[in-house]
Amino acid sequence: MKQRPSFSDDFLVGIGKVDSEHRQLFEIAGRVYDHLNDPGEAAFAAARTAVAELIDYTATHFASEEVQMEAAGYPELAAHKELHRHLMAQVRDMEMRVEVGERYVPVELSRFLYNWLVQHIQTEDKKFGRFAASKGLAR
């Protein structure tokens, strides 16, 4: 990844709380990126901190998003929950790899976070945003 991940209007799904939480996830990904060129242990320390924050915040965000989807009667809730479980498993794998000190994990983590955020928001979360808007539930 050549530039710092940053949230833009391209990632808005039209649901205030979800958009705010997505901004925070981009900030976490940005903090990982900020430390990619740190020497040795500094990059791993930053990655450890970011992964811990990511796991905590992602779990909170996913739970919040799922509650909103359930309240809206979102027909793809079960599939979306499964995507969330899969993403959390990937994040936990990254956490384990950071802990054992794999050399390229900070770079991989930064790429993973950015790609996951972009792909998940642009496809799955925007689907929910469109559904919520169609029901008059967005913003």
| DSSP state letter for 14 | S
Domains of the chain are 14-134 (1.20.120.50)
- What is the per-residue pLDDT across 89-137, written as a single tens digit (0 to 9) for each? 988 887 787 777 676 766 777 778 788 888 999 999 999 999 999 998 8
Give the pLDDT mean for 9-29.
92
Structure tokens at 98: 């950071």
Would you state the pLDDT for residue 125? 95
Give the length of the chain.
139
Would you state the pLDDT for residue 81? 96
Rounded to two decimals, what is the model's pTM?
0.83
Distance (Å, whole) CA 24 – CA 7? 9
Question: How many CA atoms within 13 Å lie on the side-chain side of 100?
Answer: 6
Q: Count Cβ atoms below 10 Å from residue 107 Cβ, excluding itself.
A: 16
